[in-house]
Amino acid sequence: MEFSVLLLLTNAMATLYMTGLIWMVQIVHYPLFAEVGMEQFPQYARKHQFLTSIVVGPPMLTEALSSMLLAWYLPPGTSLSMVIAGFLMVIGIWVSTALIQVPCHEKLEEGFTKTIHRRLVLSNWFRTVSWTARGALVIWMLTLVITDLSIN
């Protein structure tokens, strides 16, 4: 299998994993923060941060690295503009994570507040929509690769 196709498959797996995960977080996980209880929340938040990093760290790094490498190893049937659009979405997700969601989590480790919780839930829609769009993009790219390979 051509390296660029393997790279795209790797990127698609990481992106689609994160797409499913972010919807679970957005619809189920983050809203349930409000149900933990004030006394237990700081400990819960610290454990949450640690365990979440184990689950999201490797696929986010895989997605970022493979998104960048796709610019040098362009899969057949795709375009550089598609790859760049996908990479820009990754950058947006990382910037949102670093500048909004991580600080919200850090503040919640000090104790639950409705204001910070609300900011976390509302701001996370950006990542949810971005990963969903990336998921659609990588599926489209895979479709183009399959079409290109079946023609040639």
User: Each residue of 88-103: pLDDT tens digit?
Assistant: 999 999 999 999 999 9
pLDDT of residue 151: 85
List pLDDT tens digits, range 53-101.
Answer: 999 999 999 999 999 999 999 999 999 999 999 999 999 999 999 999 9
Domain ranges across the chain: 3-151
- 97 secondary structure, DSSP code: I
pTM as predicted = 0.94
Quick one: 70 exposed, middle or buried, by C-beta within 10 A (0-12, 13-18, 19+)? buried
CA distance 20 to 56: 12
**122-146 burial string, b = 16+ CB within 10 Å, else e?**
eebebbbebbebbbebbeebbebbe
* pLDDT value at 50 more than 80: yes
Of 65, 76, 49, the residue nearest 13 (C-alpha): 65
Look at residue 26 in the predicted model and tell me its pLDDT: 98
The answer, yes or no, to whether residue 33 has pLDDT greater than 90, is yes
pLDDT in the model for residue 142: 97
**Are the C-beta atoms of 63 and 28 separated by less than 8 Å?**
no
Residue 13 pLDDT exceeds 90: yes
